[in-house]
Structure 1
């Protein structure tokens, strides 16, 4: 419709035009989710050096982390996914995907349906399909909040008998921790603590899990708590009284030739961890003690050197004073949880000096090592050059949160 003659349209025509635009917007969003699902299924983010698809979308589409993860969650439920082994997992809500592609429902309707079905985990496949159909039928008339309220009645419609009663909980020990290491090296865990330990745990987490004071913290409570737990672990690892490592940071025993480490052979396996490549070892080695172990042709150690290369205390203090936190653009993480990154890699002759180092939080440390982001020291401060798919001009950027540029006099 030509916007210059809107005043000539009737009220009914104006409403119809708006409805058509809303339908197109929903259809475009459906296509956006389809593309996001395909990127996630292919592992595009990992191939480009990012830790996950959400981190990639934050740079390419300039989405907030919350919105990026929201789209990924919706895409996972609406579209088939392919596992690393090649098997295909059918979508949880195929009818909802079709309705969104037709422009019949909005993103908030999708969330209401997802939440309703997630609250009914005991339903079998046929009951889930029925519940999804009932919700979509109601979505044709209801706004998202009304649809969510109606979702409380879906159980009575598709499963009037309800779930089976829970079994009596057995007696538990005072403290327990179960953990499982995934194939990619990440970890899942669950457990419980006694009263005294629980209070200690809460007191340690509280200072770290508060939202950022600047007011632009989009993390949910669970994400803030997870980040806080990681910060507590890192501070514990830095404590000089830790008995396992005697106060030093991670020690890396490199059981390949030094030439291989310099040549960036990413398919070489290190130590006893089959998941660690040479690239990952170089990233870890940025702020670690290196124990070079030279091997002969029969894989027998010929010489093991003394520890070297950790950033000394006076360098780390200088980095805290200069960078004040993670130097990556837009990052708010404090210096206490950051690594000391070598701009010119130590394995390639880069010195352990202030003018060749920058503080980076673990997330951005991995990104710099694994992606096409580059670091350059300008006026004795670290600047970051984005890949072309983030900024075609590759204009250098810096962190203005910890070290803002002084205003002109």
Structure 2
């Protein structure tokens, strides 16, 4: 074996030294195919050697804690790669003869062998030895056409080809097992950061994942050519819109005796001067811009506070843009009124053209529907919102965007 490998090594070195530029295209393709077959055959030899060394305990005899650790040092491999090498060597050793023959013939590669061996093992357990032997032939034939990823996908229905009488029952059982694992593994972790932000992580089961995608996918498309948000930022804003919609419906269960709501406390003088920050009931603070934006479509509860901040006199809750006024606003704007936006009314806030804190009244003539993205954009940008002569909202762009500042309108929401 040593002599044969040395000869092979010398032959490969000679091929490497041969100038490829002098070879015809047809011969280059043939050489690539041959090199790939030799690579797979060498992989089979390597796995055989690893399996034998592991079985003899060579690694522990030489002071290593495991064969994987020994291979890492001996071959200068990553420990993960070395561990997978040991596992694949064991898998190949226990696989049916046809799997090993396919690798040594160069017909399949190492990744395909891993898929074939795993799939055949499942068939063996489910349908017996005869079906497993058939599965080897079918999978090897498929491997000549498909890579390991597609081969794995096709392998999920291998019983249709080798044991059709039990295929449906086995598929149903596998699907139930998958759903059981998904239900067991489902979780959401919410980690609060020091600045009031939250880090979300978790795994959703299949049904919840489908519901989430159905809810946020329509909201993650760019709103126009000037939308510079990253995909991650668009998903964040879509989730925020879904949460705001849930809060607006009033159908969430009560929390501590109150309706589900976001509570912000701020000073009236600071709000009117655009200087006051706000505090969430959960602790974090918001800038004056964020407070004024939230106040556009919020329930305002005036309160007289003592020197230590104790509430002394709480007034009547007043909804700024709601009820008949919001319905009239929806009938007029039909959705987000910002030019080019297609967001429907249910995703929109009522925005005061002249802010309520600046003395603006709560009326149809002083309101416009804006989606969450454009609500933030108007509050932070230089756009001017006004009503045209026909009472429809129009938006005057900043001079850097249009020096003529020609008012623009939303033509997406069609009207009869």
TM-score with structure 1 setting the length: 0.49
Larger radius of gyration: 2
Specify which structure has the bigger relative contact order, considering alpha-carbon pairs within 8 angstroms and separated by 6 or more residues: 1
Structure having the higher helix fraction is 2
TM-score with structure 2 setting the length: 0.48
